[in-house]
Structure 1
Amino acid sequence: MTALARIGLAAYRWAGIIGYPAAGLVLRARAMRGKEDRARLSERLGHAAFERPHGPLVWVHAASVGEMMAITALMRELRRSQINVLLTTGTVTSAEIAWQRLKNEVIHQFVPLDLGPAVRRFLDHWQPDLAITVESEIWPSTLMELHQRQIPQILVNARLSDRSHARWQRHPAVAQSLFSKLSLVVAQSDVDAERFRDLGAWPVTVSGNIKVDTDAPPCDQAALSTYERQIGHRKTWAAISTAEGEEKLAAMVHRALRASMGQLSIVVPRHPDRCDEIETMLVAQGLTVARRSRNDAVTPQTDILLGDTIGEMGLYLRLTEIAFVGRSLYQGGGGGNPLEPAVLGCAVLAGPHVENFRETYQALVRNGAARMVRDAEMLAKGVHYLMNEHLVRHKMADAGMEAVQQMRGALTTTMKVLEPYTNPLTVKARLEPQQAAGE
């Protein structure tokens, strides 16, 4: 490590120590804005809500809902081997989904802030045998503390966006110091693997994207039946995982097609907490809005079904065969995940800015399952065309499901390369008494 890197990392550690006393105030302010769970703020400071169970324990960190759902199958494989799993996430939404779907299988805690005192308190209590992080979460204090305690840290389904890679490249000595402390990186693609090697990680292997191996998102069948009955024979399309500004474009598309198509537009923002302002914007444009959270009925006069609930993407996508995937029309968005609409038989549309899922979109486009649009006008033309050309729409949907099937296998590859770390824990689990998660 160069002197400059040592100084930079030391400054980061000291800043965390000095700033720690103010962390509680920051967390309370975030809780007032709905960004934190007020009842569980102490977890963000490293305090545990449960006793550590007996036996081996793997700490799995997934920043948000998408990462958590991607890693669910891997966590269940660990549990089948009688290994305790501590899952940490960073968002209120992900915590709610974890409680709904995994409460009897893993222990869930909010991830501690990357401040020395919080990280040390967290690790002192949980004493994980192995730490697995999903995708691209690199926290210096946590990484250095794990390394000092000789706890292997593995990055799975790892990716580095263009922006993140460029940012790390501006500080090569710091990157080398941190990334070299990773015990293993399991990258999504050859491009990602090369980027991690460039920054100092070793060894690095490639698995593909484990999100492809996740099951189709679940659905409330009663709600689906109700909406299908209310929608009747109306045509539909969905704009999902939208970022700020894309809802306004979805409204433009709806107004452009309404006279000729009479369609229902389904809008599902990436962040449901923005839905009040989104509804205000839609109503101001003369559109009639039904909100899922209010159980509003979809009537023949309803223009927009606003999907403002958590964990119901499977419901919204089953109501349509055309899905525009957001965070893709504006520079820096990075693109949303097209796998869920593809696996549920939707023709996929997206903007040009999809670097976070570049290889996935390339595979879908190559198979004829996805089409890229430049702006609202091109999006409106694409939606109109697919609504009218049912053979083309169904061909794209079939191609999407086929492409997903071809991309599967990343989970098996990941579990295989993890065996040198997990097999000893499996043996240890058989020799030590276990406790159920959360006891």
Structure 2
Amino acid sequence: MGKSGPFLRSLLARRARASKEDPARLPERMGTASLPRPAGKLVWLHAASVGEAQSALILLDALLERDPSLHVLVTTGTVNSATHMARRLPARAMHQFVPMDHPQWVAAFLDHWRPDRVLWMESELWPNMLAAIKSHNIPAVLINARLSARSVKRWRLVRKTIADLLSTFTIILAQTEDDAANFRALGAARVVVTDNIKYAAAPLPLDDAALPALFAAIGARPIWVYASTHDGEEDLACRLHTRLSKTLPDLLTIIVPRHPERRAAIVETCARHNLPAALRSTGALPTNQDAVYIADTMGELGLFYRIAPLACIGRSFSNDGGGGHNPIEAAQLGCAVIHGPHIQNLAALFDEMNAAGAALRLRDEADFEAQLTRLLTNSFACDELRDRGAAFVMAKAQILDRVMSSLAPVMAAA
């Protein structure tokens, strides 16, 4: 097992107790499959968490559509991503948790699944996994790849090691020209810019049958959505609601937390601000007495993008330093997009949307209040922002074709 085995087992057990792992599926994290390998061609598509999983689904659908004989194994590393996949995986696709980066667990995983191709959609480079893929001579592609200048500076100290890891990939599909240049600086031989595959995503799924009840409950009230919120942003939403309600007394603020398990803390935050709140997970709809509606369910963000004219993208004002979440999803479903200053994880995407007038950057809390007031009281301004967002999304519709074209030579012999 090696020295790291007991430590990793202990780590998995602790994570399971903290609900960060699925206890019933811990063997998968140690390389033991819970499903048989299907006969025939198998592509392994790995995505780290929910964000990457959503992008992976775009690619997955295209792969299966173009090759009716293909099966795809999708792996992820988080419980939420597994839940997301369970709802979305089509026929000929199956999900497993990715094994932790222990040599024996990696070997067991590869020996069972024997993938013909590997498509890797994660920024982390796992040394044991990539070395094993390379030693098995499995063609691999790094997709939707990002690499910051800060990472390049850090990795230059071990450039030879990083170059060896990157040599596992037949080709690297980078999101931007800057990303491509950074990969080349670390020794990557073949890098192509295909843009961010998130641009090519189908709209988030939504239950159309749930719309009438929500529309009826909300009525003519002005509403806005704070989407995929993190710690600190619910408190900000409550402060804004309290001030805006002086001008818009029937305002409804909808909070969709990124992690629904934080619901108790969010309810407490609303109570501290004396704002009545309803929890969607209880089956409740917002009443006229509710100031805040907490959508603490998984997979319903699309529903709230559809009913609201305006959304602020979460983790752009959060206490953890921010980073942002995908704004395309809101624009696709007709929401005007606003966001805070801390969107470094998707900076290129937000910058491009801002330059096109398809999103609006908020400098600080005061600017947030001013712009939220303007957009909620001026339907022309809000509609203009929505329309520019829709136009931006339409202009990005060809990205998937570029990705598939770049993959074609690698996939041809699979």
C-alpha spacing 1:129/1:221, structure 2 compared with 1 (3 Å)? same
TM-score, normalised to structure 2's length?
A: 0.95
Structure 1 SS opposite 2:220: coil
Equivalent position to 1:293, from 281, 298, 322: 281
C-alpha RMSD of matched pairs (Å): 1.7
Is residue 77 of structure 1 aligned with residue 62 of structure 2? yes
Equivalent of 1:316, from 301, 304, 329? 304
What is the correspondence of 1:189-338 to structure 2 with a 5 Å cutoff?
189-261=176-248, 262-329=250-317, 332-338=321-327
In 2, the alpha carbon distance for the partners of 1:313 and 1:57 equals 32
Q: What SS does structure 2 have at the residue aligned with 1:398?
A: helix
Aligned to 1:107: 94
What secondary structure is seen at the aligned counterpart in 1 of 2:221? coil
Give, as a single letter, the amino acid of the residue that structure 2 aligns with 1:289: A
Determine helix, strand or coil for the equivalent of 1:424: coil
Give how far 1:233 is off: 0.4
Q: SS of the counterpart of 1:69?
A: helix
Mean Cα deviation higher: 96-105 or 313-322: 96-105
1:9-50 superposed Cα distances (whole Å, 9 cap, x missing partner): xxxxxxx93121232332122112111111111000000011
Q: Which residue of 1 aligns with 2:393?
A: 404
Preserved CA contact (<8 Å) 1:334 1:353: yes
Q: Within 5 Å, which residues of 2 pair with 1:302-381?
A: 302-329=290-317, 332-381=321-370
Structure 2: distance between partners of 1:199 and 1:401: 37
Q: Deviations over 1:31-89 (max 9, x none)?
A: 12111111111000000011111111110001112212212232123223121100001
After TM superposition, the score normalised by the length of structure 1 is 0.90
Deviation at 1:211, TM superposition (A): 1.1
In structure 2, the residue matched to 1:13 is: none
Q: How does 1:154-165 map to 2 (within 5 A)?
A: 154-161=141-148, 163-165=150-152
| 8 Å contact from structure 1 (residues 334, 356) kept in 2 | yes
Q: Which residue identity does 2:176 align to in structure 1?
A: S
Assess if the C-alpha contact under 8 Å between 2:322 and 2:343 holds in 1.
yes
Aligned to 1:431: none
**Structure 2 match to 1:416:** 405
CA distance in 2, matches of 1:241, 1:163: 26
Cα distance in 2 between the residues matched to 1:361 and 1:413? 21
Which residues in structure 2 correspond to 1:165-184 (within 5 Å)?
165-184=152-171
Q: 1:310 to 1:166 in 2, by over 3 A?
A: farther
Identity %: 40
Q: Which amino acid aligns with 2:61?
A: R
2:194·2:403 contact (CA, 8 Å) conserved in 1? yes
Q: Determine the structure 1 residue equivalent to 2:107.
A: 120
Q: Which residue of 1 aligns with 2:376?
A: 387
1:137, distance to aligned residue in structure 2 (A): 3.3
Aligned residue in 1 for 2:17:
32
- Output the CA distance in 1 between the equivalents of 2:276 and 2:185: 52
User: Following the alignment from structure 1 to structure 2, what is the Cα–Cα distance between the partners of residues 30 and 378?
Assistant: 40
What is aligned with 1:52? 37
The amino acid across from 2:201 in the alignment is T
Secondary structure in 2 aligned to 1:421?
helix
Q: Distance in 2 between matches of 1:228 and 1:90?
A: 36
* Rounded Cα–Cα distance in structure 2 between residues aligned with 1:274 and 1:125: 37
Indicate whether 1:65 and 2:54 are aligned. Answer: no
What count of residue pairs does the alignment treat as equivalent? 410
Give the match for residue 130 of structure 1.
117
SS state at 1:184 partner: strand
Mean Cα deviation higher: 169-178 or 152-161:
169-178
The corresponding residue for 1:7 is none
User: Structure 1 residues 316, 168: closer, same or farther in 2, change over 3 A?
Assistant: farther
- Rate the CA distance shift 1:162–1:314 in 2: closer, same or farther, 3 A: farther
Unaligned runs of 5+ in 2: none
* Distance in 1 separating the partners of 2:75 and 2:188: 23
Native 8 Å contact 1:181 1:201 kept in 2: no
Deviates more, 1:411-420 or 1:369-378: 369-378
Instruction: Give the CA deviation at 1:167.
Output: 3.6
What is the letter of the counterpart of residue 284 of structure 1? R
Q: State the one-letter code of the partner of 2:261.
A: D
Q: How far off its partner does 1:161 sit?
A: 4.0
